[in-house]
Amino acid sequence: MTKAPGGQVTRNMTWLPGGTFQMGSDRFYPEERPVHRVTVPGFWMDSHPVTVEEFRRFVKATGYVTVAERPLERADYPDADPDLLVPGSLVFHRTPGPVDLRDYSNWWAYVPGACWRHPEGPGSDCRRRERHPVTHVAYEDAQAYAAWAGKELATEAEWEYAARGGLDGATYAWGDEFAPDGVMMANTWQGEFPWQNLLTDRYERTSPVGAFPPNGHGLYDMTGNVWEWTCDYFASRHRVEPPGGCCAPGAARAGGAGNGQPGAGGGGRFERMVIKGGSHLCAPNYCLRYRPAARQGETEDSATSHLGFRCVLRSPAAGEPGAGAIK
């Protein structure tokens, strides 16, 4: 696979000095517990989610074909409708009125032909969305991009530490008030999900990266806009280890002794990985997860219209910057 151009690795990345923080929350969803103290060494992180434009450069350089663009194997989905065993992805559709929130099929539909190039399916494209986060990327796709760029996916601990922006224990990435002085701080859902979107933040779907203020570390869109993959296996609660255990960089990654173990995601053909940050579809009446502590498990083959990623760099060769971030 062709590598990204040398010397460009830390472009649009921010340096995060190491630190200790309280990971998790005991005020919202069970999977965010228990709150525990975690220390992470310093690392670089993309200052915003990988964009359509950046992902297009990767595909052009490598010829990579995403999971959503490949034929499906019947053995992987033995219970699926045979008519849906064609390349495609999950697309959100706003409902005409209130629906049963226990049944996500009311607003999610598998759309043949939907992929990162065609976010809403055939007939849609990414024109005028080049600076939006790329979506419809499965875990394998995110890892492939990261490897090409000379980077990796963040552990859950690294991701949450970065998202908190130095505000240890705060509810949101910017503090404890959702909209300080009436200012919307992230791309989320306002109104009654999944039928009434008041568009207080001006965006129906994804927004351009950097459309909202950065957090205290200078990182954009750490909550809201799109969910982001991490490299940790999902478990229904945080697995607390002594220092140097589950949250030490390297130990918590897929294939190591992470927050979950292979198979902990539910026993299917595909593992469940931790995703973080919430998205433009998160609403208080259904999914109040546009918070640093929030977490969900997503099967590694999943590709949806609200799921993206960003990368980190831990290599000592990259070095610590003399001052702040490289933009």
Do strands 227-233 and 19-23 pair parallel, antiparallel, or not at all (unpaired)? unpaired
C-alpha span between 111 and 12 (Å, rounded) = 33
Give the pLDDT of the chain (327 residues) as one tens digit per residue.
445 544 457 889 999 999 999 999 999 999 999 999 999 999 999 999 999 999 999 999 999 999 999 988 888 888 878 877 899 999 999 999 999 999 999 999 999 999 999 999 999 999 999 999 999 999 999 999 999 999 999 999 999 999 999 999 999 999 999 999 999 999 999 999 999 999 999 999 999 999 999 999 999 999 999 999 999 999 999 987 643 333 333 334 443 333 444 443 344 578 999 999 999 999 999 999 999 999 999 999 999 999 999 999 996 555 565 433 433
How far apart (Å, rounded) are the C-alpha atoms in residues 72 and 76? Answer: 8
Task: Concatenate the DSSP letters of all residues of 116-131 into one string.
Answer: SSSTTSTT---TT-TT
- For residues 186 and 174, give the distance between their C-alpha atoms in angstroms, rounded to a whole number: 10
Task: For the full predicted model, state whether its pTM sits above 0.85.
Answer: yes
Question: Could you give the angle at which helices 139-148 and 52-62 cross, rounded to 10 degrees?
Answer: 70
Of 112, 122, 56, 118, give the one whose Cα is nearest residue 89.
112
